[in-house]
Amino acid sequence: MKYGLIAASLGHSFSRELHAMIDDYDYRLQEVAPAELPAFLERRDFIGINVTIPYKQTILPLLDQVSPEAAAIGAVNTVVNRDGRLTGYNTDLDGILALLDHMGASLAGKKVLILGTGGTARTARAAAQRLGAAEIRLVSRTGRGGAVTYGEAAEQCSGAEFLINATPCGMFPHLDDSPADLSPFPLLTGVADVIYNPLSTRLVLSARQRNIPAEGGLYMLAAQAVAAARLFTGRDYPDGLTEQIWRRLLQDKRNLVLIGMPGCGKSSVGEIAAAMLNRPLIDLDREIAAEAGCSIPDIFAREGEAGFRRREAQAAAYFAGQTGLVLAAGGGTILSPRNVEALRHNGFLLFLDRPLRELIPTADRPLSDTADKLAQLYRRRFPLYRAAADAVVPTAESAEATAQRAVQVFTKEQSHEAIDS
């Protein structure tokens, strides 16, 4: 490995494909156990590497020298081998500063809470100091090292105006986790989360539900990678490269999630849209039936609606953690707020709005197998679809025309978010 990323675990990483967008060097991922780290560095058989959890601080004494900036922070995430001497740098600082600038966040004169006390938290503190924060408090479970505990933060820091999560809490595959409840901090004007997988953590989604501007760590990831590549190669890259990479990653990773009434065409439209986008199609009902080894009506007959909903929630949670999909949700998936939140981690929810008069009851749908049942279902669910949807597409005369419109809306919205978020 000449270039790459080392960590104890790398199942969540986008870094290899990201670096392929920057330059043509061969960037690889390598898991290194803590006991193996000294020997790995001693071999010096790389040109440049990035370092992530849990080595950003433990790597310091194993290097020949450390940049003044990284030494002041006390954390390294980039190591360059120059003639056998290993030098450590901190390009996470570039990344966090770029993310905050991208958000339009002003920390000058503000009270800032930083969740975590590790290498990334130290870097976030340096960024907040550079941006003129009036007060910075680190928060940890134990409260050691000058930090406050989460309980103390809730009691003592209600005036916090900006929050940065620098812990791995909420990172794939633990999408249900969140490092903090935001309700004790009513004055927050922004939340930044360094986690980029999922695209929107539970913390970010919680902030947005409170109308607090919030962003995940994808932009930070792109910015720190460009800064690391400059150190690896000695080349200068265009100023707009970070924005270009972030936009492409966002468009590639976000799922297109189709929601709507039974019979509105989610499966057929999804199949065409998936082909247009060159993505896999996941039909949630088909996946549930395959896992159960029987049809949906059989699941209802054997386990009742409650049993089916349990299976549906499990399937929604699993596929919500994946990226780059077209996902056709079941008609009732949005009945559970938890399902909607799960789908929003990586998904753009598009409501296929077919009028009731065009919906047809079918025997294979137990909850809408008669016209009366279908009409009642429509009246109950329509407002839920509208509330869950990021956008609405009225169905057209053909599945092809609807799919074309769905893809247009999806790609336009992703591009708009990449420019204006």
Query: Would you give the DSSP letter of residue 360?
Result: -
Q: Two tokens at 417?
A: 């978010």
Nearest partner of 125 among 398, 218, 117, 161, judged by Cα: 117
Residue 58: what residue type?
T
**DSSP run (H or E) holding 162:** strand 162-165
Q: What are 176's two structure tokens?
A: 């249900």
Residue of 2, 56, 110, 111 marked active site: 56
Locate 175 and state its tokens. 């999408």
CB 89 within 8 A of CB 67: yes
d(CA 90, CA 155): 33
Q: Work out whether strand 48-51 and strand 214-215 pair parallel, antiparallel, or are unpaired.
A: unpaired
Spacing of C-alpha 390 from chain mean position:
17
For residue 219, CA distances in Å to 18, 242, 327 come to: 11, 8, 25
- Rounded CA separation 332/80 (Å): 52
**Cα gap 421→418, rounded to integer Å:** 6
Omega before residue 38 within 30° of 0, cis: no
Whether residue 362 contacts residue 263, with contact meaning beta carbons closer than 8 Å, is answered with yes
Give catalytic status of residue 56 as yes or no.
yes
Bridge partners (DSSP) listed for residue 163 = 113, 191
* Half-sphere CA count of 220, side-chain side, radius 13 A: 28
* Residues catalogued as catalytic: 56
